[in-house]
Amino acid sequence: MFVKTYYKKRYLSLIAILYSSIFYLCLAVASYLTIYGSRKFQEWKANQKRNENDAYPAADSTCQNPQKTKRLASLDTFRGLSIVVMIFVNGGGGGYWFFQHATWDGLLVADLVFPWFIWIMGVCIPMAITGQLKRKEAEWTVFKGILRRSATLFFIGACLGSRGQPIETLRIPGVLQRFAVCYLFSATLVLFSLRLMHQKEPEGASVLKLTDVSNAWPHWVAILVLLAIHTGLTFGLPVPGCPTGYLGPGGLHDNASYPDFCIGGATGYIDKILLTESHIYKFPTAREVYKSGSFDPEGILGSVTSIIQTLLGVQTGITILTFKDKKRRLASWLSFAILFGLLGGALCNFTQFGGIIPVNKNLWSISYVLVTTCFALIILSVFYLLIDVYNIWNGAPLVFPGKHVLQHYMMERPNKKVLVELMKKDAKEFKESPKNANKLLSMQQKTEDEDKHIVLAAIKQIQNMTVHLLKQGYMVKEKTDSEAEEKYKSWLLERYREIVDSRLKQVASDDFDVFQANLRCLMDFLRHESLYPIHLSEDNGFHFPIDIINGILKVLLSTIEDKKEAISRFQEFVEYEDVKHYVLKCLNDLLKDMTAENYEPSEMFIKNLLGVLKFIHMRPIHGKKRHNEHEEFKLFCVDTDPAKPKFHMKMNQLRKYYTNIWLIIIKFNLSISIYKNLLTLVSEEVLPAVDKPLLFADFFLEAYDKGGPISLLALNGVFQLIHKFNLEYPDFYKKLYSLFVPDVFHAKYRARFFFLADIFMSSTYLSEYLAAAFVKRTSRLCLSAPPTGIRIALQFIGNIMYRHPGLKKMMHCPEDQTELGSDPYIMEERDPAKCRAIESSLWEVKTLQSHLIPKIADEAKFINKDLPKVEWFLGDILENTLEEIFEAEAKQSITEKVPISFEKPVGFRHSQNECFGDCFSLLNVIKL
C-alpha cells in the first residue's frame, strides 16, 4: 500500500511538471510562429535592409546602446534602489512594520520591490532588442537569445527553490520563474511588433499627438486581451465550495465564513488544478493569521497581470525610443503616472483594504499593478530629472548594485528564505515520523543563532513541533508501554523541559520581537499542556501548568529593568479568566514568601508589579457596574471537546488573592511617586472589586492626614469609604476645609480636587454654617488665584449656594464690610464652625467683577442676579487653560465703541496742552 501511494504521488508530480513544461513549450512555439509569419509577411528585401536604420525609432538613450555605450543612469539607479530595499527587507527592515509584507490586502514598502523589478525589465526590453537589430542581427538569432535567457532564469529559479526538496514536493512557480515567463512573452511581442513602429516624433509636433502610445498599439491590444482573460477567470470561474469571484484569504477571514482552501478564489484554484497542491507554496503570509491553506503568490493567474505590468514598462521604454526631447519623456511618464494612479485608486477606492479590486500582492491584482507602476514612473521621473537632465547627481552608490541585480539576488536569497524553508521542511518531517526526533534538537540549536530572523523562524517551528508532541500524547507514559517506549517518552519529556526553560530564558531578551515570539510560544505550550496533560491525574481534573506562568512573571517583575512594553504585550493573555486566576495565585504566593523573609523589594520591582496589576481588571462587586453571577467567562485553555475537563471559576478565591496582594503592596516602603500612583489606583480599581474595602481604611486615612498633594489624592478613597462603606470619620469636612489653601490653585491635581470637592459638598443635608465656611474661604482664595482657577472656584461657589438657598444673604455686601479689616470672617481659623463665615459677605466676588479679564468679570456678576436654575457642571472648565480663555475672548465681536485715548483730541494727531503736538502743527504751517 505504501509503495502504491508513493508511486501515485510521484506520478502526479511528474504530470504537474509535464503540464508546466508543455505550457512553457507551447508559449515558445507560439512566439516562434508569430515571428515566422511576420518574416513571410514582411518579405525582406535588400533595399529595406539598406534603409533599416531609418525604419527603427531613435535609440540614442537606451539602457545599453550598441553604438553608444552610454547607459540610462537613472534607470540603473532606480534598479539599484529596488535591490537595496529588497536586501533591507530580507534583513528584517530594521524592525519597522512598514518594511514587512502585507498579510493579504494592502501595500507596504516590501510589496513594492518585486513589481518594480518586473516593470524595469519591461522598460529595457524594447531598447535592448532595438540595439540588437541595429547591429544587423537576424530575428531568429534574437529570438533564440530570448528563449535562452528565459530558460536560464526559469532554471535558476527552479534550482533556488529546490534546495533540499524532493521531486514530489518541488515548487514549480517562483520569483525568477515569473521573470522568465514575463520576459518571454513581452520580448517576443516587442520583437514581432517593433517593425510596426515607423513613426518618429517630428520637430514641433503637438504634445497631444501621443506618438509613443500609437507606436505601442500592439502592446495595448495585448494588455486589453490579457486583462479580459484575467478578469473573466477571476470573477467568472466557479470554485467548488467557495463563492464565485472570492478574493479573500479564506480560513478565519470574515468570521471564518469560508474554508481555508478558498484562499485566493480562482487564482488559488487554478494552481491547485494545474500544478497540484504538492508543487505550490505551502506557507503564504496569510497562513499564520487566517489559518489559510496552501497558496502560491507567484502562481499562473498572477503571471497574467505580471505580464501586463511588464508591458506597461515596455510602453515607458518605447517612450524613450520615440522622444528625443527629455521634457517630452518626462511629460509622458508623469501623465501615465497620474492616469495609472487614478485608475488604481478608483479600483481600490483609494484605501488599503477596500474597493472592487483591492490592492493585493499575493493575487497580483490589477489595482496593485496600476498603483505600483504609478510609483515607479514617479521615482524614475525624479531620478531622470536629477541624473540625466540636470546632472545634479550621478546616481552613486545606488547605480552600482543596479548593474548587477541577479548576482545580488542570488547571494542574498539563500541567507534567509532558503534556511527558513529548510526549517519548515524539518518541522514537517518531524511530525510525519518519530524517527526524525533528532530534528527537534537541531531546531532547538537554531533558536540560539546569532541571526535574529533565523531565531524567530526557529521559535515558530519549534512551537509547531512541540505542540504536535502534546496533541499526539507522545510524552504521556502509560502502564502498557514497553521499555523502549518508556525511554523514548522520557527522552521527549526531558527535551520538552529543556525547550520550556530555553524559551523562559529568551523571554527576558531585550529584543522585543524575540520576547514576543517566545511569549506566544510559551503561552501556546501552556494552553496545549492544559488541554493535553503530560501527567494524568487520578481524578482527571483540570490541569494548569503553573510553572510556565511563574517563569514568565519572574521575567516581567524585574528588579532592575523597566518591563512596561513587555507587560503591555502580556495584557492580552491576562484578559482570560483562567490565566488571570493563576497569575494572581502566583503573585500572591510570591509576595507572601517575600513578606515571610522580610524582603524589601526595589522600586523597579514595585513599578513592574503595579504594571501587571493595572491590566488585571476585576469585575466590581460594589456600585452600578457590579458583577453578574450569570455572566460568561472568557477562557484561554478551552477546547471544543466537551469531554475534556474545563476550568471552574472560583470568584471568592480570586478576590481573596486580589485583596491579599494589594494589602501586602500598601505595606511596602514606597517612594512618593509610587505612593501617589497607588492612592489613585486603589481608590478607582481596587475598592469596588474587593469584599472588604474597610481593610484599606488605615491606608487612606494616614494619607489624608499628611496634607498637601497626598491628601488631595486620598480624598476619593476616604469619601468612598465614608459614603459607601459606612466608615466613621467625623472630622472629614474639617480636614477638607483645611485643604483649601492658596497652593491648591497651583497644584497638579487642582482639577481633580475641585471635582471631588464639588461632589463632597453636593449633599443638601450639610449644615448651613459648614457650607458658608467653604463658600467664604474659596472666595477669599480667589483674590490671589490664577484666572483659570478663579473660573473653577466661582462655579464651585455658585453650586454650593444653589444647594443652600439660605446663603443668599451673603450675596449682599453690608457697608461695614467693604474692606478686609472690617470683615468678621477669620481666615486663620481651621475649624469651619468657629470662622464666623455665616456673618460675612461675598465682597471678594464683588471685587472680581472688576477683573482684568472680561470673561472672569462677567462670571463674577452671578451674585448680582438670581441664582441659576440648574447647577454648573465643573467638568467643562476643569482643564481650561489661560490660552483658551484669551482665544475665546479674542473671537468675540465688539459692538460698542472702544476708547483709544485718555483725552479727547482737539487737533490733528494731538490732544489739548500737548507740547509735541503743537510743535508738529507749527512745522506743518511753516512747510506750507
Q: In the 8-state DSSP scheme, what is residue 246?
A: -
What are the grid coordinates assigned to 820, written together? 478686609
DSSP conformation letters of 616-670? --PPPSSSTTPPPTTPPP--SS--S-TTS------HHHHHHHHHHHHHHHTTS--
- How far apart CA 616 and CA 417 sit, in angstroms, is 40
Element (H, E) at 276: none
Q: Which residue has the cell 509577411?
A: 41
- How far apart CA 898 and CA 262 sit, in angstroms, is 76
Q: Is the dihedral of CA 56, 57, 61, 64 positive or negative?
A: negative
Q: Distance of CA 114 to CAs 244, 314, 720, Å?
A: 28, 16, 63
Judged on CB neighbours under 10 Å (0-12, 13-18, 19+), 871 is middle
What are the grid coordinates assigned to 341, written together? 494612479
Q: Distance of CA 437 to CAs 441, 496, 704, Å?
A: 8, 12, 64
Q: Which residue has the cell 491590444?
A: 221
CA nearest neighbour of 570 among 610, 526, 520, 531:
520
Catalytic residue among 101, 219, 581, 804: 101
Q: Are 313 and 120 in contact (CB under 8 A)?
A: yes
Q: What are phi and psi of 239, to 5 degrees?
A: -115, 120
Element (H, E) at 111: none
Q: Distance of CA 595 to CAs 602, 655, 697, Å?
A: 14, 20, 21
Q: Are 527 and 637 in contact (CB under 8 A)?
A: yes
- How far apart CA 907 and CA 853 sit, in angstroms, is 33
Q: Are 373 and 340 in contact (CB under 8 A)?
A: yes
Q: Is the dihedral of CA 34, 35, 38, 39 positive or negative?
A: negative
- CA dihedral of residues 386, 390, 391, 392 (deg, nearest 10): -60
- How far apart CA 113 and CA 175 sit, in angstroms, is 12
Judged on CB neighbours under 10 Å (0-12, 13-18, 19+), 513 is middle
CA-atom Rg of the chain in angstroms: 40
Q: Are 306 and 341 in contact (CB under 8 A)?
A: no
Q: Distance of CA 353 to CAs 102, 347, 498, Å?
A: 10, 11, 43
How remote is the C-alpha of 422 from its chain's centroid? Answer: 30
Any catalytic annotation for residue 453?
Answer: no
Q: Is the dihedral of CA 691, 696, 697, 698 positive or negative?
A: positive
Q: Are 179 and 146 in contact (CB under 8 A)?
A: no
- How far apart CA 156 and CA 152 sit, in angstroms, is 6
Judged on CB neighbours under 10 Å (0-12, 13-18, 19+), 610 is middle
Q: Which residue has the cell 531578551?
A: 509
CA count, 13 A, side-chain hemisphere, 479 = 1
CA nearest neighbour of 606 among 698, 709, 678:
678
Residues tagged active-site: 101
